[in-house]
Amino acid sequence: MPALSARVGRTELAATFAQAARARALRAEGHDVISLSLGEPDFPTPEHVVEAAHAAARRGETKYPPLAGTEALRAAVRRKYLRDQKLDVPQASILITNGGKQAIFNVVMAVINTGDEVIIPAPAWAGYEQTIQFAGGTPVFVPCPQDKGFVLQPEDLEAAITPRTKLLLLNYPNNPSGAAISPAGLEAIAAVLRRNPEIWILSDDIYEHLLFDHFNYATLAAIAPDLADRTVTMTGVSKSYAMTGWRIGFAALPPALIKACTVVQATTTSGVSSIGQAAALAALEGPQDLLHERAAAYQSRRNLVVSRLNQIPGIECHKPDGAFYVFPNITGCLGKTTQAGRLLTSDTDFTAALLDEAHVSVVQGAAFAMSPHIRISTATSEATLARACERIATFCATLR
């Protein structure tokens, strides 16, 4: 049989997909499974957004779209960057992408050669590592443990930089920890980067609107405009507007990267769904009150889950600043045996047993480069989250 490429062999599917698939299989067998493994809002796409897509289709906006995005959406994204992130980005510097994931893929493929190193503060979304490996780069994880608020420290960044470092990935609010970084924290990171002018920066701000307790959001390019010529600020409509399936992301690119990222996109997917772009335009230009309403709902869910989990012996749950995840430490549950006789030696063992025996699906911290933790998505109703916490508590109470 003909051989496959090396890039496919070194890239694995994310554990989140595997957990979700296992949960679906158990449901198909008739089990009542609570799935908290995927990071997908349970809210509907706003009705005016759906109507805008329908109207666009009825108008015949069903042809090949411009490679970089429609002029109307790029103009709206420019206004969005100015409004939400205090970035005055030229419209020509904006690229509309097939979800935020393609924005990341475009950048990594545009700047990474075989053997180049990419610094990733951990815990981190698994998609970063997969994309870097696919491109032939080397992921370099910098641990950002719970006692540091899961936030990258400037001294740890400095220590991780080598002559092979090509890119730094920042993601705040963070998936999976929900940690956010303050303007002062960003300025400290910027100080390190000023001493290392050969490093590109990608700021993944996809959870920018999901912040709690009046956290003061900022993005690196706004805090350090002198670094804007090597900083990509990427976001999209998936999380904040509950539009995951519409697959619309966007990136503000420095001049040196615009053509390169456009070439990558042209080579892979070309332009983005014209109907989806019409929907994203309606989301960005329409009423924004829903952002605050939904963030408030996620904050209430966070409060419920953190409170319940911290009552469970063996689990310690940090209170996140944003996003819709909690990332509890399960050290106190390891070394014990479940009711079914399974010895728990890792967070991977814990998540497998929790799903099989308590029918709650979460994701092991190992999938995010930090153990022993688990990631729990709070993007579901409080009633469902309360039931899940009860099952987790019962599961942990039976450990011996």
Give the pLDDT score at 6. Answer: 84
Query: CA distances (Å), 85 to each of 88, 205, 310, 333, in order?
Result: 9, 10, 34, 41
The model's confidence at residue 209, banded by pLDDT at 50, 70 and 90, is very high
Query: CA distances (Å), 113 to each of 12, 56, 76, 266, in order?
Result: 20, 40, 34, 19
Give the pLDDT score at 25. Answer: 86
CATH superfamily of domain region 6-44+290-397? Aspartate Aminotransferase, domain 1 (3.90.1150.10)
Count other C-beta atoms under 10 Å from residue 259's C-beta: 11
**Picking from 29-43, 100-114, 213-227, which range would have the lowest pLDDT averaged per residue?**
29-43
CATH code linked to domain 47-285 = 3.40.640.10
Residue with tokens 């309606």: 282
The model's confidence at residue 259, banded by pLDDT at 50, 70 and 90, is very high
The model's confidence at residue 181, banded by pLDDT at 50, 70 and 90, is very high
Give the pLDDT score at 17. Answer: 74
Tokens at 38, concatenated: 């995927």
Res. 239: pLDDT tops 90: yes
pLDDT tens digits, one per residue of 148-160:
999 999 999 999 9
Give the pLDDT score at 207. Answer: 98
Give SS3 for 157: helix
Q: State the span(s) of the chain assigned CATH 3.90.1150.10.
A: 6-44+290-397
pLDDT tens digits, one per residue of 313-342:
999 999 999 999 999 999 999 999 999 999
pTM confidence score: 0.95
Give the pLDDT score at 38. Answer: 87
Q: State the span(s) of the chain assigned CATH 3.40.640.10.
A: 47-285
Give the pLDDT score at 23. Answer: 83
Give the pLDDT score at 172. Answer: 98
pLDDT tens digits, one per residue of 357-368:
999 999 999 999
Distance of alpha carbon 196 from alpha carbon 190, whole angstroms? 10
pLDDT tens digits, one per residue of 56-94:
999 999 999 999 999 999 999 999 999 999 999 999 999
Res. 8: pLDDT tops 90: no
pLDDT tens digits, one per residue of 13-50:
667 777 778 888 888 899 999 999 988 999 999 999 99
Give the pLDDT score at 365. Answer: 98
